[in-house]
Each structure stands twice: as C-alpha cells, then as structure tokens.
Amino acid sequence: MFNRRTLITSSLAAFALAGTACSAPSNSGGGSGPRSMLLADGYEPSSLNPLLGYARYGAAKFYDGLLAFDGRGTLHPALAAEQPESTDDARTWTVRLRRGVTFHDGSPFDAHDVVATYSAAVDPAYAATISSDLSMLDSVEAVDEHTVRFRLNIPYAAWPARMLMGILPKDALAEAAPQDRSPLNTEPVGTGPYRLAEWRRGERMIWRANEDYWGGTPEVDEITVVFATDDNTRAQRVQAGEFDGTVLPPTLAGRIGGDSYRTVHHDTADYRAITLPSDHPVTGDAAMRRALNLAANRSGMVESLLGGHGTPAHTPVPASMERYHAPEARFDFDRERARRVLDEAGWTPGPDGIRQRNGTPARFTVMYFADDTLRKKFADAFASDAERVGVRVELAGVDRSEAAERIGTDAIVLGGGCPVDPDVQMYSALHSSMIGTGTYRNPAKYRNDRVDSALDAGRNTVDPAERARHYKEAQRAYVADPGLVYLAFVQHSYVMRRGVWDGYEPVVEPHTHGTTWGPWWNVEDWTPKS
C-alpha cells in the first residue's frame, strides 16, 4: 500500500545523510509518553489560509495538496492517488483521488472539496490572493466522488506545480465571501499531518499530531513553535539549550553547533536581485542595465555577506534546477568592460565622478525592507559596486506598504523563488504580460520579446526535453538584454539538536523557509532514534 512515508522516503533515500537527527530534550526518551519538539522561528504567518497564500509551495503541516514536493524537484501524489493525466495539449488534466482521507473535523475528503477549493481560488467573490497564480484555470469539475478534471484556457505543462495548494473542506467555503475574514485564517481545517492546537499571536503556536492522518500518525506528537524575530536572541536561546532547532542567517548559524547541535545549510531557488525600473531615465537604459550587471561582484557578495553559503545568480534559474539551468547565461565580473559600455552609450563621468548623459545624472534609489538585515547588506554591496563604475545608488529602508507604492519608479532588493518548475520561477518575474498584475509580478516592467516567446513556448510544451530547451533560450535571451541584476541564490541555514530523531533529509527550498521547511519539512515522517 502506498502512503506518504513510502513515497517521500523512497524518493529521497539516495540523499539521506547518516547520523543526522534532531529534536526535543524533554519528554522524548524511553519509548513512552509524549514525544515533543520545541522550535523557534523568526517569522510568524499572518494567515493559515491556503487561499491567502499560506504554504503555496507545499510543506504545509495542516494541509495536503493533490501533489507533494519530494525535496529535490519532483512531485509525488499526496491527496491524488496517482500522477495526474493530461491530454496531449496539456489543456485538460484528470486527477484520481486518494480514498479514506478525512479532514481534521472528521468530514470525508472527496472530489467536491477539490472543486470548492480551486473554484474559490479563482472566484473574485472570495478575494483569494493566489488567484493570479491560477489565471490559466478555466474550470474544474467532479467527474465522480474520487475524480476531478481541470480544464485550462491555455496549454500549460506546469499545471502539476499548481497542485501543491492545500485543499479545504467544501463546507468551509460554502459562503462566497472575502477570505480575509475567514475563520480558516486562524483555525485551519485540512487533511494534514498536524492539527493546530493553540496559537497565541506574537508568542507561540502548538501543532498536535493528526492521529487519523492517511500517511500514518506522526511520531513527533507535539511541536511548539516560539516566535522570536531577533536573530541574535534566537541564537542565544539555542546556545542555552532552550530550543531543539531554529532558522538563522548563515554566518550566525555557523557559530553554533558542536556536540549538542548540528548546523545545516540547504540549497534554494531563493534569489536576491535588484530591480531596474524600465520607466526610470537611468535604469530604463539598456546599456546601464548591462553595465550594472557587469559591475556586480556576485562572488564577493556570496563570500562576504553569506559566508560562502550561496551561489552567484545571473538569471532566476539556479543550478539546482539542473535540467533547466543554462550555465552559459551569465555575466562576467568586469568593471573595465562596464565602464566601456557606459562610455559608448554616452554616460560620461562628471566632476564628482558620477556619470551623466544629456544632463541626467546616473543616480537612482534602491529600496530594501528596513527589517531585513540581509537585504540591506545586499543593497550596500550593490551600491558600492555601482559607485566604482560611476553610478550613484541611494539607499532607502522602507516598510512593505511604502515599497508597494514606490516599486514602479524606484528599484528594490527583491527576493523570491520556487524550485518546483521553471515556469513558476521565471514567468511572473520576467514575462511582459505580468506587468500590472501584482506588486511583485514583473515590478520593473521588463519587456523582451525573445524572453516572452521562449517562456510561452516552455509553458505550452509538454515534452520535458523541449521544455528545457525553451527555458534555456529564455535565460540566454535575458542575459543579452537584462532587466534586473540577479545577485545570489542564498542558502537557508538552520541549527538542530542532535541524537533524538531519525528522518532528516536535505531539501532544495523555495523563498519560504522557517520551521515548516528547513530540517522539519518532512517531520511527520521522523522516528525516534534507535
């Protein structure tokens, strides 16, 4: 019989790391009594509703999607009983569902719940924030109690990547009302391996094992997540032995470890980039954009800012997405060449060393979120590199509401990424059709016909080899005429207690990280260390 443990564990066996484990110092031994875990997170979710973006790429402890990410780039059945079937043109997808699954409230899971969830996601009456992710969905229907069929308005080979979203019970969606007022935001009802037992805002959240979970009752009975936003505070509390694990910046995580704790660094598709607004008189110039890409010392940033725990980024596609990555699509670090590009484009140095063209100084602003130390460091490093080729970058620490108001005219340190499919990674960031569809969807208003054509071909092509060819072409076309300065893919770093649990597996993570990802992305499959 297939269950979640069988599917995930078998697919990752080759990646297991011997001797790695983690968890609770108390109530965890002897084979009797509750087995608990105490974790610290620097981020507290604002909502636990999948329709408002909660765990959109999987690893949701309260929910299951039709498919689940295996941690290395492959999708496996979860609430689906088997892999989805598509028509040759990838416009119709049929999914057979797992039987015998129940929601946390005891109601049975069936095709009507899937229909209700996806219908609500695209119905304006529900005001779901993920609706733009599903713009290609035309309709979804229940063929029978255990089969659903999706019909799309375009050929879309990446549709399985949209099947990670948590499924909600149909009764919870009976009223067509905006989801920002839904009880699901704080009282999740899913089919996942854990139930929410308690949530004290700003303080902690407690998860309890779902004894009726279709994949088997988790052996970690209870997980308490304490919210502590300050990185140094979390590190100090871990060093004092208070927590079983936490997420930390790479350089800080590297200082902890030893006999009691292990430090791990996970590869990601999570990039940091500088947007270059196309409407700005400086960053809208193609020569300026190319010069800034040549001037950026990406390797230096990875070493100095990340302690080596990352890789230089030139396009949105990381090397971990091996099939789709085009290694030749890159920029050499070459300040002299950057200066020549600017000279040839008419950007001449002024008396103060700052270039100008036709009276316009080579000056623009880069925003960063004021509460994000790492983004500030990337902004500082980029500004320093730009200054050395005669471009003045002024920095502005802003909150998210101010960033949203200014993002069309001022540059910003952008973060994002998902390793599940190149369409998810590239389309909303670079395709011109995304302009104006969301705050962080192609915010620089980048337009490139060659990139658009390759991305369209990639999402409309079913054959994997053909898809890979199109996405590599999109990367080459982008590098020939860049719209941002991609700087680095950052590793996510964690510390975890040794010697209590078996089951840790490395994972390639999306931009989202913390205690639902990290070492604990598959915590429902962990077992006591023998």
At residue 71 the predicted structure's pLDDT band, cuts being 50, 70 and 90, is confident
**What's the pLDDT at 38?**
97
Checking if the pLDDT of 73 tops 50, the result is: yes
Checking if the pLDDT of 19 tops 50, the result is: no
Report the alpha-carbon distance of residue 122 to residue 137 in Å, rounded: 8
Number of other residues whose CB lies within 10 A of the CB of residue 152 = 22
At residue 257 the predicted structure's pLDDT band, cuts being 50, 70 and 90, is confident
Beta bridge partners of 369: 398
Per-residue pLDDT tens digits for 43-61: 999 999 999 999 888 889 9
**What's the pLDDT at 15?**
31
**What's the pLDDT at 97?**
98
CATH number of 1-38+201-265+493-530: 3.40.190.10
**What's the pLDDT at 34?**
53
CATH number of 45-193: 3.90.76.10
**What's the pLDDT at 108?**
98
> Span 333-344, mean pLDDT?
98
Q: Which amino acid is at 340?
A: R
Beta bridge partners of 77: 67
Q: Which pair of tokens denotes residue 264?
A: 């791990």
- pTM value? 0.89
Going by C-beta distance under 8 Å and a sequence separation of 6 or more, which residues neighbour residue 508? Answer: 71, 72, 73, 266, 267, 268, 269, 320, 419
What single string gives the DSSP state of each residue in 197-222?
Answer: EEEETTTEEEEEE-TT-TT---SS-E
Domain layout of the chain by residue ranges: 1-38+201-265+493-530, 45-193, 271-490
- Cα–Cα distance list, 162 to 169, 182, 497 (Å): 18, 22, 34
Per-residue pLDDT tens digits for 499-512: 899 999 999 999 98
Report the alpha-carbon distance of residue 32 to residue 463 in Å, rounded: 51
**SS3 call for 247:** strand
Residue whose C-alpha is closest to residue 382's, from 451, 307, 291: 291
- 422 phi-psi bin (left φ>0, alpha ψ -120 to 50, beta other): alpha
Sheet with 204-209: list strands edge to edge.
Answer: 194-200, 204-209, 222-227, 36-41, 245-248, 492-497, 261-266
CATH topology of domain 271-490: Dipeptide-binding Protein; domain 3 (3.10.105)
Report the alpha-carbon distance of residue 270 to residue 490 in Å, rounded: 6
Residues in the chain: 530
Checking if the pLDDT of 2 tops 80, the result is: no
Number of other residues whose CB lies within 10 A of the CB of residue 308 = 15
Per-residue pLDDT tens digits for 363-393: 999 999 998 889 999 999 999 999 999 999 9
At residue 1 the predicted structure's pLDDT band, cuts being 50, 70 and 90, is very low
